A and B are shown apart, each in its own frame.
Chain A
């Protein structure tokens, strides 16, 4: 029933989005997984779209569809955009990968940009950010600040992006406290504040005193605030919801990338690429460090500087959960290994769903 409803919502949204055609040089269109008001993932993408609007003014027309479910519905949404004269289409969720490629084949003159995926084509580029760099830093903070030595991690879906986040977090924590444990709860949704809150409560009840999440709402952090434990903001600075609980937040900043790609499309220099930037390029940023002692802040900033300087958190020695070696001492995992990560590091208190 819920899917019927979502499909209908999407259908109505198409009608609204497809109305205007104008004299702008370029039409840039965005497909979103959640509502622009989630104050998390989709909110940050839409901030990026607004940066494009601000930068190019009347030269670029933008349009977006929100709440587009992954799967067949997204294909219709993307195709509708392609047919309606969008020149460049940003599809901003992992599950849009195959639909994006399918539509791209039919519309070779349209440029496609798929976020967080790994398949490209002549007219399909991918882009993602090195969120795991931020996860390593918050892991270190958790390692310093946790009294129980256990953090709770709320996961959405067991895809490489989320798994590498969990690993980076734990590696950061273990660099401070080698016995650090992380408990993982999968809620199997990107966005359901109620469920995310329930999952946070369950984790706290089982001894976690640090909560972090890879879902899109502020609910887990709010629970942390109420229960007197601590946590980290996700995608945007969520300090307003947890003034005593938030240590920092990993902020996604898509604006610079969107402006760069739209500029390239305008200039006719656009070509397919796999962009994967992090703290160094400013695509990932850390919110101000709060509620922390000075030495921990200094440590976090030092790690941040080290990563900006080119250091990779996934540098050996790395041991997998089953005890086998993932990387020898000093060996750095290559980008492909991180982007396709499907194994846990040692110390994760969960079995990875296969």
Chain B
């Protein structure tokens, strides 16, 4: 029973986790991309279509990453090269993604998909309780955890991470030091797009292996909120995604048990929990300010 709940939580949290860690890198570079939902849904439809055509889940996942990056490239070109408004462009990207994905996906409505196979990690998967929950998952789940560790390492332990954070905190100084702000931001935006595409592929190839329009159903927006929730710290993204996933799943179990709490209240619990933790975290104002990228959402135009 406990094991079954944990398994469901992992599936619910993984797409949020992956999309959020990508957006975290984007925001650390000083760019606010509100188009996560649009990139995710494109990843979902392209991943599904390619997996369906080729019969290979791996190719589907790769294609989804490329699709997310393609969307991100459009966004990057608009906000970085043409210096359009980031909020408006991000919203437009979401609308574009929802529309185009519906068009691409029309042929795949009502077609059953293929599910990514589970990878059993030798020895570890034999462990009681922990084994089936953490070591008998599909590759994307492991990839999600690996991504978080990688991002945490690169951001805070490498020169690349230092440059990225410098660009996000003070693009003027970074530019004066000779770093190409625009290039760094392009790369960050592309990484974010790739992650969103991967998260989308997880939706259409593992979470609910099928294509239906709007299937991400707002998860891109939750991922955006999780980045703020995590106060731009990678490991907190895991905590946020799992808290959100766990509360969602537990409310269903509570209902199935037949406890007499109104379902509307239970449905709002994940959001209430997220807000409560957000308030607790932001009580430490200094820590929040230190981690907020100072140039977030500000356009940069090199003077020469």
Q: Which residues of the partner chain B approach A217 to less than 8 Å between Cβ atoms? A: 208, 212, 215
A9-B98 in contact (CB<8A): yes
In the complex the two chains form, what is the Cα distance from A349 to B255 in whole Å?
9
Q: Which residues of the partner chain B approach A174 to less than 8 Å between Cβ atoms? A: none
A186-B255 in contact (CB<8A): yes
In the complex the two chains form, what is the Cα distance from A320 to B45 in whole Å?
46
A12-B212 in contact (CB<8A): no
In the complex the two chains form, what is the Cα distance from A5 to B220 in whole Å?
11
Instruction: Closest B residue to A152 by CB, please name it.
Output: B256
Q: Which residues of the partner chain A approach B219 to less than 8 Å between Cβ atoms? A: 194
A234 beta carbon closer than 8 Å to chain B: no
- Given the interface pairs A8-B95, A39-B212, the reply to whether A206 lies near B257 with Cβ below 8 Å is yes
B8-A5 in contact (CB<8A): no
Q: Which residues of the partner chain B approach A353 to less than 8 Å between Cβ atoms? A: 262-264
B210 beta carbon closer than 8 Å to chain A: yes
| Per-position binary interface string of chain A over residues 192-235, scored 1 when its CB falls under 8 Å from any chain B CB and 0 otherwise | 11111111011101101000000001110010001000000000
In the complex the two chains form, what is the Cα distance from A350 to B266 in whole Å?
14
Interface residues on A, range: 35 or more
Q: Nearest-CB distance from B51 to chain A (Å)?
A: 15
Q: Nearest-CB distance from A225 to chain B (Å)?
A: 9
Segment from B22-30, B104-112, B125-133, B175-183 that makes contact with A: B104-112
In the complex the two chains form, what is the Cα distance from A350 to B221 in whole Å?
32
Q: Which of A158, A196, A198, A349 makes the CB contact (< 8 A) with B258?
A: A349
B window 74-117: CB within 8 A of A? 91, 94-95, 98-99, 102, 105-106, 109-112, 115
B8-A202 in contact (CB<8A): yes
Q: Which residues of the partner chain A approach B262 to less than 8 Å between Cβ atoms? A: 353
In the complex the two chains form, what is the Cα distance from A187 to B266 in whole Å?
9
Most buried by B among A35, A194, A219: A194
B208-A197 in contact (CB<8A): yes
B248 beta carbon closer than 8 Å to chain A: yes
B203-A194 in contact (CB<8A): yes
In the complex the two chains form, what is the Cα distance from A34 to B207 in whole Å?
20
B252 beta carbon closer than 8 Å to chain A: yes
A37-B260 in contact (CB<8A): no
**Is chain B's binding surface mostly helix, strand, loop or mixed?**
helix
B249-A8 in contact (CB<8A): no
A191 beta carbon closer than 8 Å to chain B: yes
**Contacts between chains A and B (CB distance < 8 A), count:** 139
Q: Which residues of the partner chain A approach B217 to less than 8 Å between Cβ atoms? A: 189, 191-195
A53 beta carbon closer than 8 Å to chain B: no
A183 beta carbon closer than 8 Å to chain B: yes
Q: Nearest-CB distance from A34 to chain B (Å)?
A: 7
A188 beta carbon closer than 8 Å to chain B: yes
B253-A202 in contact (CB<8A): yes
B window 241-270: CB within 8 A of A? 248-249, 252-253, 255-258, 260, 262-264, 267
B window 207-238: CB within 8 A of A? 207-215, 217-219, 221, 224-225
A window 158-192: CB within 8 A of B? 158, 183-189, 191-192
Q: How many residues of B contact A (CB 8 A)?
A: 50
In the complex the two chains form, what is the Cα distance from A192 to B112 in whole Å?
17
A2-B221 in contact (CB<8A): yes
Q: Which of A35, A43, A158, A202 makes the CB contact (< 8 A) with B252?
A: A202
B275 beta carbon closer than 8 Å to chain A: no
Q: Which residues of the partner chain A approach B8 to less than 8 Å between Cβ atoms? A: 198, 201-202, 205
In the complex the two chains form, what is the Cα distance from A5 to B5 in whole Å?
31
In the complex the two chains form, what is the Cα distance from A37 to B110 in whole Å?
8
B214-A219 in contact (CB<8A): no
Q: Nearest-CB distance from B23 to chain A (Å)?
A: 13
B209-A240 in contact (CB<8A): no
Instruction: Closest A residue to B105 by CB, please name it.
Output: A37
A265 beta carbon closer than 8 Å to chain B: no
A window 317-349: CB within 8 A of B? 349
A106 beta carbon closer than 8 Å to chain B: no
In the complex the two chains form, what is the Cα distance from A125 to B304 in whole Å?
66
A94 beta carbon closer than 8 Å to chain B: no
Instruction: Closest A residue to B103 by CB, please name it.
Output: A37
Q: Nearest-CB distance from A47 to chain B (Å)?
A: 11
Q: Nearest-CB distance from A346 to chain B (Å)?
A: 14
Q: Nearest-CB distance from B14 to chain A (Å)?
A: 11
- Given the interface pairs A193-B210, A240-B111, the reply to whether A188 lies near B264 with Cβ below 8 Å is yes
Instruction: Closest A residue to B262 by CB, please name it.
Output: A353
B276 beta carbon closer than 8 Å to chain A: no
Q: Nearest-CB distance from A107 to chain B (Å)?
A: 29
B12 beta carbon closer than 8 Å to chain A: yes
Instruction: Closest A residue to B209 by CB, please name it.
Output: A222
A contact residues vs B (CB 8 Å cutoff): 1-2, 4-5, 8-9, 12, 34-39, 43, 67, 152, 158, 183-189, 191-199, 201-203, 205-206, 208, 217-219, 222, 226, 236, 240-241, 349-351, 353
Can you list 21 A-B pairs with a CB-CB distance of less than 8 A? A1-B225, A5-B218, A8-B95, A35-B212, A35-B214, A37-B105, A37-B109, A186-B267, A187-B267, A194-B12, A198-B249, A199-B252, A201-B4, A203-B252, A205-B253, A206-B256, A226-B115, A240-B111, A241-B210, A349-B258, A353-B263
